[in-house]
């Protein structure tokens, strides 16, 4: 067992959780006089990876989206050159706080799938470590308060210190194996999200009438999923729901289209019933068939209605009405960007 002398960290991060883990790791590496370099997956030219030293420890850190690594991270891993290096995989999951305890998220298939790909390329996986950082999925739940965020960061800082000491000394660390049963059980949802779900969430963002078309969200999107259409930001199906756009918008103009999703869901439910009973005039008992018809209608109508909504937002009066149907518009829902400021202020 040899101590580590040199480390390279690759991370993907939307709102800063995975990047923060990378920074903490580099700080602990510096204390041990370990040479450490950090690279952002979104801006890394993979042609340069062929020059990686054989004795280098590689660490890959990414958030979990829908119980799997996002497409940008998986593509990075798939195109990773063949090698013999030791690799530690890490992820950031949706952490919450109950009393003085951290409620863990789920890694799903993120470690399992990426490990299979890397092992096939010749690498040795020596670690799989999850970190339950503050959940940032504002499309689903309100932002966590400042005290909760600080609590979660303090807990994860200590966890990074503990596990960095272990992996920097050359030991293996498979903390994720304690969640293996839950991760296997949740795997069907992980595959479903990767194949279908992420495309629906890609249409959950829009720029409200407060948008001044500064273009920052377009420029900073790590997967280039936002384009300008009719002089307004427009989210394509490439969106990974990393929340970076909502996090950096100086006008707080990016909202989640909750109203649109409710409207499309109600219309799809009615149309599914009409198609089955009034048009086809058949009685289908299979839940799968019903969900399939509903799903096809949902994606078709979501695409159409999202385009219509994008055009309607050009009218300020209609745009304000649309915004009132978005939970992210209200103060009680909160904004993740408040926490990103606090991240840099937290001292341990």
Walk me through the domains of the chain, giving residue ranges and CATH numbers.
Answer: 6-190 (3.40.50.360), 203-339 (3.30.70.20)
Return the pLDDT at 273: 81
Question: Rounded distance, CA 128 to CA 149, Å?
Answer: 24
> DSSP label at 104?
P
pLDDT over threshold 90, residue 74 = yes
Condensed to tens digits (0 to 9), the pLDDT of residues 201-223 reads 999 999 999 999 999 999 999 99
- Half-sphere exposure at residue 15, Cβ-oriented, CA atoms within 13 angstroms: 29
- 184, pLDDT greater than 90: yes
Residue 291, pLDDT above cutoff 60: yes
Angle between helices 316-324 and 287-312 (to 10 degrees): 140
Average pLDDT over residues 189-212: 92
**Looking at residues 261-281, what average pLDDT do you find?**
83
Using alpha carbons, select from 80, 63, 56 the residue that is nearest to residue 19.
63
| H helices present in the chain, as ranges | 17-31, 71-78, 110-120, 146-168, 180-192, 198-201, 216-220, 244-248, 258-274, 287-312, 316-324, 337-343
- Distance between CA atoms of residues 260 and 223, nearest Å: 24
Which pLDDT value is given to residue 347?
Answer: 47
Mean pLDDT of the chain, nearest integer: 90
CA-to-CA dists, residue 105 to 13, 64, 197, angstroms: 17, 9, 18
Distance between CA atoms of residues 273 and 266, nearest Å: 11
Candidates 347, 342, 324; CA nearest to 147 is 342
Distance CA 118, CA 239 (A): 25
* The model scores a pTM over 0.85: yes
Return the pLDDT at 282: 64
**CA 330 remoteness from chain centre:** 23
pLDDT at 290: 74
Q: Per-residue pLDDT averaged across 134-157, rounded?
A: 90
Residue with more model confidence, 281 or 266:
266
Pseudo-torsion of CA 281, 287, 289, 292, nearest 10°? Answer: 120
* Cβ-based burial of 32 (10 A; exposed 0-12, middle 13-18, buried ≥19): middle
């Amino acid at each position: 067992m040899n101590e580590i002398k040199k480390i390279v960290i690759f991370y993907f991060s939307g709102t800063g959780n995975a990047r923060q883990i990378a920074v903490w790791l580099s700080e602990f590496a510096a204390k041990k006089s370990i040479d450490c370099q950090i690279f952002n997956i979104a801006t890394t030219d993979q042609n340069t990876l062929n020059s990686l030293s054989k004795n280098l420890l590689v660490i890959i850190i990414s958030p979990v989206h829908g119980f799997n690594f996002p497409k940008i991270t998986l593509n990075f891993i798939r195109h990773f050159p063949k090698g013999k290096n030791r690799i530690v995989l890490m992820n950031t999951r949706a952490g919450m706080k109950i009393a003085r305890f951290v409620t863990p998220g789920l890694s799903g298939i993120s470690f399992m799938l990426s490990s299979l790909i890397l092992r096939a390329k010749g690498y040795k996986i020596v670690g799989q470590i999850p970190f339950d950082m503050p959940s940032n999925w504002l499309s689903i739940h309100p932002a966590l308060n400042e005290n909760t965020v600080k609590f979660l960061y303090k807990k994860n800082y200590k966890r990074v210190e503990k596990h960095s000491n272990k992996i920097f000394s050359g030991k293996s660390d498979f903390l994720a194996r304690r969640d293996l049963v839950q991760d296997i059980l949740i795997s069907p949802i992980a595959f479903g999200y990767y194949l279908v779900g992420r495309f629906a969430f890609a249409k959950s963002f829009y720029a409200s009438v407060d948008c001044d078309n500064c273009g920052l969200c377009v420029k900073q999107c790590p997967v280039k999923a936002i384009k300008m259409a009719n002089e307004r930001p427009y989210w394509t199906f490439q969106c990974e729901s990393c929340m970076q756009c909502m996090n950096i918008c100086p006008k707080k103009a990016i909202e989640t289209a909750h109203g649109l999703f409710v409207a499309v869901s109600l219309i799809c439910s009615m149309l599914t019933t009409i198609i089955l009973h009034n048009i086809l005039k058949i009685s289908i008992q299979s839940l799968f068939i019903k969900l399939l018809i509903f799903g096809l209608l949902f994606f078709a109508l979501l695409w159409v209605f999202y385009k219509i909504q994008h055009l309607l937002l050009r009218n300020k009066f209609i745009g304000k009405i649309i915004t009132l149907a978005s939970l992210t518009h209200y103060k009680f829902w909160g904004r993740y960007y408040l926490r990103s400021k606090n991240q840099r202020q937290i001292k341990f």
